[in-house]
Structure 1
Amino acid sequence: MEFDSIDCMTSSDVIDDDDEIHHHNQLSSLLKSHSNNGSSNSIVSPAVHSSTTSVHELLECPVCTNSMYPPIHQCHNGHTLCSTCKTRVHNRCPTCRQELGDIRCLALEKVAESLELPCKYSSLGCPEIFPYYSKLKHEALCNFRPYNCPYAGSECTVVGGIPFLVAHLRDDHKVDMHSGCTFNHRYVKSNPREVENATWMLTVFHCYGQYFCLHFEAFQLGMAPVYMAFLRFMGDEVESRNYSYSLEVGGNGRKLIWEGTPRSIRDSHRKVRDSHDGLIIQRNMALFFSGGDRKELKLRVTGRIWKEQQNPEGGACIPNLCS
């Protein structure tokens, strides 16, 4: 590609020849210093990591530091920024404070079209390389992107891989950790008439070499106070479908049973809860299960997790019960 054939143009103003030549030569010099004799079909080769990184820095917005996508704007002095930040800075260049106008930097937009860059989660294991404009879409769904902390009792902003989050839940949130595919939990609340969204518990299970989060909480469903229990899988949605679980509560000759597939922690705790994808127990029924004078909640929740196996003959999934 001939850099001298690329130009920055304006949609409402005309750049004089001296300014145009100055900016043109400045951009060409920057690009040529990073090209390392790339082929005519590509400004930079993905294999030349340092070169690619340097050119990528040219496409980084100086305000938000995110990658710039068309329209890319510039001031009369050649400073660039993304379209989102252009409105934030009230049409003033954040670098030289000159009025921005409506100048498009077509040169950088052409450069962006020719780049191929590794996924930003390459350090976490993603091997993919994408054209510049496809990269952002991939990163939003990349299987290697970090997970949000599944702890729902606070607005925790910690992100990371599964082993890191397991240690974080144990050490920072003091979450109970259990091994095994069956569980038997007893939830006690002295004043069950107080139903608040903050009333909840979390337990982490290690089973089949994976980690699962068991949530139990009280909240208001419309006008009715309810308790809800559900399981989330600490991994991606596709892998979560390999597992199933059951939950059971009961007492006084009655029982409720729920069976389902654990949701991935890619889905937020609130999203799972608001979709009612779990065992929901009306408060009156929960107190009935508790026995006694029904003034104290004493609810026992039992359950198990099993792995679905593919039947090699019929193609259907058959349960692999945990011993």
Structure 2
Amino acid sequence: SGAAGGSDEPPGKAAKSSKADALPVDAWDCPICTKAMTGRIFQCQLGHHLCEDCLDELKARSGPCPTCRQLFPPTVVRNFGMEQLAGHFSFACPQACGFRGKPDALQTHKSECALRLVKCPVEECEHWCFESPAPAP
């Protein structure tokens, strides 16, 4: 065993994480839409995070942070640290097609996923449907 801290890691280096040190499974969930934040992540003045889509929606209606109720400043703050950390994890496709990947790969996949919702191709139809039928089980 190491020094007083009990770690075998050299001073100034991060210790290897264990399951006890792992992030909670909902740490990546946007508090508004509850989807995993795999794109750009923003934060309020007090550091509460949310996804880009929800931030755009909140700002359009001048809504406050859902956690602390503070208004967002005119200049938004990205949480680059959380974005960088997210790059070390794999996330499931929100369409439940079975794809898992790092945020960059997931963003690309979401625009190509066969189960993504698209506007109905029938003229004047307002429905949304899957890009292609779901595969048989």
TM-score under structure 2 length normalisation = 0.55
- List runs of 5+ in structure 1 lacking aligned partners: 6-31, 45-50, 165-323
Instruction: Give yes or no for the alignment of 1:139 onto 2:110.
Output: yes
1:158-205, CA deviations, whole angstroms, 9 ceiling, x for partnerless residues? 5473689xxxxxxxxxxxxxxxxxxxxxxxxxxxxxxxxxxxxxxxxx
Alignment partners' CA distance in 2, 1:150 and 1:87: 28
Greater Rg over alpha carbons, structure: 1
- Residue 91 of structure 2 corresponds to 117
Q: Given that residues 112 and 133 in structure 1 are in contact (C-alpha distance below 8 angstroms), is that contact kept between their aligned partners in structure 2?
A: no
**Corresponding position: 1:96 with 2:68:** yes
Q: How does 1:151-170 map to 2 (within 5 A)?
A: 154-159=125-130, 161=133
Deviation at residue 138 of structure 1 after TM alignment: 0.7
Aligned partner (choices 42, 54, 73) of residue 85 of structure 1: 54
Q: Does the CA-based 8 Å contact 1:147-1:162 persist in structure 2?
A: no
Query: Per the alignment, do residues 129 and 152 of structure 1 end up closer, same or farther by CA in structure 2, a change over 3 Å counting?
Result: same
Structure 2 counterpart SS, 1:134: helix
Q: Distance in 2 between matches of 1:92 and 1:106?
A: 21
Q: Kindly tell me: are residues 95 and 141 of structure 1, through their superposed partners in 2, closer, same or farther at Cα, counting changes over 3 Å? A: same
Q: In the alignment, what sits opposite 2:4? A: none
- Distance change in 2, residues 1:155/1:106 (3 Å): closer
Deviations 1:10-29 (A, max 9, x none): xxxxxxxxxxxxxxxxxxxx
- 2:112 counterpart of 1:129: no
2:87 match: secondary structure: helix
Q: 1:139 to 1:88 in 2, by over 3 A?
A: closer
Distance 1:112 1:121, change over 3 A: same
Q: Taking CA–CA contacts closer than 8 Å with sequence separation of 6 or more, which of the two structures ends up with the larger relative contact order?
A: 2
Distance 1:150 1:104 in 2: 37
What amino acid is aligned across from residue 36 of structure 1 in structure 2? K
**63, 81, 95: which one aligns with 2:32:** 63
Q: Are the counterparts in 1 of residues 48 and 65 from structure 2 also a CA contact under 8 Å?
A: yes
Quick one: distance in 1 between partners of 2:34 and 2:111?
Answer: 17
**Mapped partners of 1:73, 1:163: distance in 2:** 35
Note the C-alpha offset of 1:154. 3.6
Q: 1:58 to 1:161 in 2, by over 3 A?
A: same
Larger strand fraction of residues: 1
Q: Give the Å deviation of 1:112.
A: 0.9
Contact 2:91 2:101 in 1 (8 A): yes
Letter in 2 for 1:62: P
Write the letter of the residue equivalent to 1:86.
Answer: L
One-letter code of the match for 2:64? R
TM-score by structure 1 length?
A: 0.28
Question: Identity, % of aligned pairs?
Answer: 27
Q: Label 1:156 to 1:119 Cα distance change in 2 as closer, same or farther (>3 A).
A: closer
How many residues are matched? 114
In structure 1, what is the Cα distance between the partners aligned to 2:82 and 2:42?
10
Quick check: 2:64–2:71 contact (8 Å CA) kept in 1? yes
Q: Could you tell me which runs of 5 or more consecutive residues in structure 2 were left unpaired when the two chains were aligned.
A: 1-12
